[in-house]
Structures are given as structure tokens and as C-alpha cells.
Amino acid sequence: MPSKRDLKKDINYVLGDIIEAVYVWELTNASSATKDGDAIIDEAIEVFDDLIAKVNDRSVDNKKAHFKAINAELETKGRALINKINNLK
């Protein structure tokens, strides 16, 4: 079971790297519109806020299962955001 601190770090690193990847894409593709990139960044920030709120929820009975679910949600949402970055044109 990941600790609360490690889970928060994972959320921060994963979503931070995704945002950084969007910025790198925007710099290398200066002629393309950045609206799609901005939408991905906004979605990554929303995912971050949502997951951190879930981690900080103290009304959970089974913390182990709760943290595993958050970790799985981070993985699925992170992969979805990465796929969106890969599909940018």
C-alpha cells in the first residue's frame, strides 16, 4: 500500500510531467494552435485537484483499498492524457 505522502508525490510527478510534455510540444510546434494543449493542461489540473481531494478525504473506512483505487485512477487518467498529447497535431 502506498503511503499518503508517496501517493501525493506520484500524483504531482505524473501530472507535472504531462503538463511539461504539453509545453515541450507547444515549443516544438510553434505554428500549431495551442488551444488543444491548453485544454489538456486544464484537464490535468482538474485531475490533480480531484485526486488530491480524494487522498485527503479522512472519512474513508478502508484506506488501503481507497489508496489503491486512487492509484489506479491516476494511471488510467494519466494514460488518457498521454494519449491526447500523442494525438496533438
Give the tens place of pLDDT for each residue, 38-85. 999 999 999 999 999 999 998 989 989 999 999 999 999 999 999 999
- Into how many domains does the chain fold? 1
* Per-position b or e across 43-70, b if 16+ CB within 10 A of its CB: bbeebbeebbebbeeeeeeeeeebbeeb
Q: What is the pTM of this model?
A: 0.89
| 13-44 pLDDT, tens digit each | 999 999 999 999 988 887 766 788 899 999 99
The residue written with cell numbers 481507497 in the block is: 66
Quote the domain boundaries for residue 68.
4-86
CA distance 50 to 65: 17
CA distance 69 to 39: 25
